[in-house]
A and B are shown apart, each in its own frame.
Chain A
């Protein structure tokens, strides 16, 4: 047992509508200077208001070189990189990190590369010349954020990209803290970024969540709604003792955080605020802070009708008797709702204010709304000395996140021992694969050496060079499992929900009102729900009229939102989008969350949907196997970048050993250790190297304490192309050292390469009895995955 790892905040960088230096930002907050103004970047006349928290004066050249600007050509990346550079400089790490494996990234975004996607759809609708190229195809994927940060600042450690919409960057702070507490990193760049995008603007306007004028959080009568904003902020988190040792300036301590799911509705928060209350309570309890010790709460406070009352109600319940004495103010009244950057900007506003001895106000405050009964600090900052605050976020899909921060040296858990690390086991599995709708179908397909790759009939491939993929067989979804509304879900969510249900069922875990708070969900989603209908509605109509049904489920975390609602999972909940093998990032965070005691049972999964535009883009940039090669996938080595795509979902029920024993769940495997690192590299060149995966494998073995010679087999998720040589090389060179060569298996060549989920198909198949002589199971298994974009994963399991 070690001491409870304390986490120092040693650097802050901010780009915001109310200032892009720490001093300017703080000054605006204390002088009530609002940053919401008429929007300049695009015409807002079809929408409810022209007011937004835009940063027209933002010039990426202030912080970035011309090469950096050219390479990472999306506004949200410029915002992110600028804020991150300021934070890194502020922490005294100006020289960068030289690829250190002990420095990590935890970044959140909601829109991600939506501006790039908008360019693509403008092209498709003939409003802009050109067509998709390789660069665009990377830039509009969430993983570009991790890639940009890692490359520009030479960060070579673990990377999490959190995509829980408006709760993303609060979640990122939490996952950054976990990275340090789990021993994966000594120092983490944590934060988030989002740029204003017309698509999101039209959507918020369409669902009438947008104010018709200036937002008035918690006050005003009748004229409710939010203003959108943009911005970025990053913090440097590091071991407290390390920060003291290097005499760093310490802004404060990140105490701990809480996550939860509403399991209520795709867009509306639970009106009783029960979900957000669970996240806030969990953050406080884990931090060792009582409500009375809180000096300030920065709420989500969007200003919408649905948010402000239910959140106020939750805060009232959280505070109990002290509810009227703890001030609560919405920073969104200063800079609007900055979506994925909202959480970190608001935590930054709180932290700087706490250090300056003020409480920032809620602007535009008149009379409190009916049902809003807290002290909202109207219009004027208030001097106050306090030592801890809570910053709260809520999101579409029902994801909630709250984080607790104190002044340096004020951690109530100072000197307390960490609780013993929990053992982590897998007790349930589920899979919806091209072979069929359950793990048994997957297993049967694999055992017969058939291939599930077939000609695509879902959309036309007439103009494509490729025509095949591993597609999930479609069925009457209303009848597939009548306990759930699968037919109403997007395919991506439908697959994930069904697989998750199977994982719970196979372990005999019934989720009821009595245990629903204790069961969480972590999903890995590479691409997010199919954006075509939404983007075509926005970019194909002169008034940019969005398809509202699609807008409400376009965020990546709508997958966990829908699944947790169908399955009644109200515990710890997050979504990670680090690109390929997102399922592996989810599994590693699942392991950490259980080890650190965030939750005892977590459904971990991943999901991919193959839709037309996604296929066409890959086809256009030449990332798909040509027709002549498709039918021999796995037999011929394809040219670099190429593969045959697959889709589907897989899920694992992962629990603490004690919980599994207590509940009588049969243990299928134990997770003994894992490694996750990133190879910094330029946008276009693949930056896989042997060294990257090798490092991840070494870390996994070191953390598990398992002798590599005892490895019985290796599960891989290759692409079947020339890029695999790095991954194969790493595996071979690692095991050469020990003189053993365990057999290697993969599902990819029979199911197609499912970007997020293939890695978990391997695990689910194995845990369902996918065996042969050479695999020598039961025993120790190495699960590896390695991506062109430089994300590398390795995990050691003992299969029982």
Chain B
């Protein structure tokens, strides 16, 4: 059965273009992607991410349970803090990009997955030998995010001035008006980002209030596809693009999500083996130096006669006004600042490996504590 957001009808009534994959249907976009991109890089966009898998655990025991599954050190997650990590299968291949939030002993686990919800659910259930009680809330909670250099202003209007003091990767419960909203300061766009979990019964009302505030800041509703470009040129890991294709967290450069001192987590032995034998390939960013036939997935990157990389994911960055790509490079060539040739379908295009992120997002120039 395909998952639909509780806001599905509302979105459809607003002329959303829909997309379906991994057992869910969500809003692809409302407007052309360039417009939505500009909205989020310049103002604020509001997006329905209700298809994220959401689980809720209670108490200290739950932390130790999650600690045995996830590669980050979940045991020392602070109150009010969020840890960004992943969930892997036993072969050390990615299943989900995961946030774990410790909101006053209520532990929220929010997964953006490249597999169907049932896979994640089964995995948790199978690992739960101590029968830790938890709730699967994907159906009972909606999830929205607001992202952009103006997102803070919307959040302040909605939740009050203290919200500006929230550091990146933190969580608060906002229950003053009985909304019971779990607010996370997160974001994978390099702009300000807030993710909200809202009980389904109230989600329509909250969504409309937020959207109204978003619109007063020149913002608008956006779909989920624009995030593929935002993550690409902001160099945030994207489980739906490179993650889905490459699967190995080390090749993807996600070592920072792993506590290598841990004794157990799902996929540890496979990941440790790969770490010991050393990387042979590595993800590196590219930009096209000239117009021409765009790169595609599997486009070969060559240096002279030698193939040095294959393109994994591509997108057109408005921030850089050029085509960008992530490519899987032979480790010997995996450095930024080098020129190569992309052999596209109809000809050669000069490309350059780049240091990512390659531009300064507007949010970085705004000091929230001055607001």
What residues make up the interface of A, taking CB atoms closer than 8 Å to B? 270-272, 309-310, 313, 369-371, 476, 478-479, 482-485, 510, 512-514, 516, 568
Contact = CB atoms under 8 A, between A and B. Distances in A.
Nearest to B161: A313
Interface residues of B, number: 18
B75 A483 contact: yes
Interface centre among A309, A478, A483, A510 (most CB of B within 10 A): A483
B369 A568 contact: no
A369 B371 CA distance: 10
Given A272-B165, A513-B79, A568-B79, A369 B370 contact: yes
Given A272-B165, A476-B261, 8 more contacts: A271-B165, A370-B370, A370-B371, A482-B73, A482-B76, A483-B75, A512-B79, A516-B79
Contacts, number: 40
Nearest to B67: A482
A620 B158 CA distance: 65
A516 B104 CA distance: 11
A373 to B, nearest CB: 11
Interface in B92-134: 104-105
A270 B170 CA distance: 14
A271 B369 contact: yes
A513 B104 contact: yes
26 contacts: A270-B165, A271-B165, A271-B369, A272-B162, A272-B165, A309-B369, A309-B370, A369-B370, A370-B370, A370-B371, A371-B369, A371-B370, A371-B371, A479-B261, A482-B67, A482-B75, A482-B76, A482-B262, A483-B75, A510-B60, A513-B79, A513-B104, A513-B105, A514-B104, A568-B78, A568-B79
Interface in B40-91: 60, 67, 73, 75-76, 78-80
A370 B371 CA distance: 7
Contacts of B165: 270-272, 313
A192 B105 CA distance: 41
A428 B356 CA distance: 51
A604 to B, nearest CB: 23
B271 to A, nearest CB: 18
Interface centre among B73, B80, B370 (most CB of A within 10 A): B370
Interface string B258-275: 000110000000000000
A303 to B, nearest CB: 15
A434 B60 CA distance: 31
Nearest to B75: A482
A512 B371 contact: no
A513 B104 CA distance: 6
Interface in B318-367: none
Nearest to A476: B261
Contacts of B75: 482-483
B229 to A, nearest CB: 32
A484 B370 CA distance: 32
Contacts of A568: 78-79
A405 to B, nearest CB: 30
Contacts of B60: 510
Contact of B261 (A272, A478, A512): A478
A512 B105 contact: yes
A513 B80 contact: yes
B164 to A, nearest CB: 8
B364 to A, nearest CB: 16
A479 B105 CA distance: 23
Interface of B: 60, 67, 73, 75-76, 78-80, 104-105, 162, 165, 167, 261-262, 369-371
A574 B287 CA distance: 55
B369 A310 contact: yes
Contacts of A483: 75-76
A33 to B, nearest CB: 31
A568 to B, nearest CB: 6
A405 B203 CA distance: 51
A529 B104 CA distance: 32
Contact of B104 (A479, A482, A485, A512): A512
Nearest to B163: A272
Nearest to B167: A271
B370 A485 contact: no
Contacts of B261: 476, 478-479
Contacts of A485: 76
A544 to B, nearest CB: 30
Contacts of B67: 482
Contacts of B80: 513
B155 to A, nearest CB: 14
A483 B369 CA distance: 30
A512 B60 CA distance: 10
Contacts of B78: 568
B247 to A, nearest CB: 27
A564 to B, nearest CB: 13
Can you list the 3 inter-chain pairs with the closest CB atoms, starting with the nearest?
A272-B165, A370-B370, A482-B75
B79 A484 contact: no
A485 B261 CA distance: 12
A462 B168 CA distance: 50
Contacts of B370: 309, 369-371
A478 B162 CA distance: 34
B70 to A, nearest CB: 13
Contacts of A513: 79-80, 104-105
A102 to B, nearest CB: 45
A311 to B, nearest CB: 12
B309 to A, nearest CB: 35
A479 B263 CA distance: 9
Nearest to B79: A513
Nearest to B80: A513
Nearest to A271: B165
Contacts of A512: 79, 104-105
A79 B104 CA distance: 47
Contacts of A514: 104
Contacts of A510: 60
Contacts of B262: 482
B65 to A, nearest CB: 14
A320 B67 CA distance: 42
Nearest to A478: B261
A482 B259 CA distance: 11
Nearest to A317: B162
Nearest to A274: B165
Interface centre among B67, B79, B105 (most CB of A within 10 A): B79
Contacts of A484: 76
B178 to A, nearest CB: 20
Contacts of A310: 369
Contacts of A309: 369-370
A484 B76 CA distance: 6
A483 B75 CA distance: 5
A507 to B, nearest CB: 15
A483 B259 CA distance: 13
A219 to B, nearest CB: 13
A273 B80 CA distance: 16
A598 B126 CA distance: 49
Contacts of B73: 482
A510 B79 CA distance: 12
A729 to B, nearest CB: 50
A484 B167 CA distance: 20
A688 to B, nearest CB: 45
B272 to A, nearest CB: 16
A322 B226 CA distance: 47
Nearest to A370: B370
Nearest to A371: B370
Contacts of B105: 512-513
B132 to A, nearest CB: 17
Contacts of A478: 261
B215 to A, nearest CB: 25
A512 to B, nearest CB: 6
Contacts of A516: 79
Nearest to B102: A513
Contacts of B371: 370-371
A313 B369 CA distance: 10
A461 B272 CA distance: 40
